[in-house]
Amino acid sequence: MLDNCPKCGSLFVRTQFRDVCDACYKEEEKLFEKVYAFIRKRENRTATMPQVVDATGVEEALIIKWIKKGRLQLVHFPNLGYPCEKCGATIREGRLCAKCIGGIQKEMTKIQQEEERQKQAKRQTTYFTERRKDD
């Protein structure tokens, strides 16, 4: 699909593998190498996201993009993570934190219970007839 690069605005063909133009992709690769070289060092493996950003000068959003794409394996870096899409808490997998997932599941259970209650109410509907006084 033909698109404009979100970083520089130049025209490029967007694919499932690339969401930026060739020039910006090459720049991102250089930045990736910089970040990876930093966190690969034994003394930096426990670095937090702000520490990695400060030390490398690479934007947090770009680091998060690499984590979500699986290029940076969090199993090797215990203090790295990315924000929950609902509340912003730091998570290491998925899109939502456990608290938000629990809240959504609780709401879904309430909705299902209400739907079941309404089904039961429909099944138990009683009809009354009105008697006329003149009968």
User: Which pLDDT tens digit goes with each residue over 32-90?
Assistant: 999 999 999 999 999 999 999 999 999 999 999 999 888 998 888 888 999 999 999 99
Please give the single-letter amino acid code of residue 110.
K
Q: How far apart are CA 65 and CA 106, in angstroms?
A: 30
Put simply, whether the predicted model's pTM sits higher than 0.85 gets the answer: no
Cα–Cα distance measured from residue 33 to residue 28, given in angstroms and rounded to the nearest whole number: 9
What integer is the mean pLDDT of 99-107?
95
Residue 50 within a domain: no
Q: Identify whether 111 is part of a domain.
A: yes
- Quick check: is 129 in a domain? yes
In a domain, 43, yes or no: no
Per the structure, the complete domain to which residue 105 belongs is given by 96-134
In a domain, 113, yes or no: yes
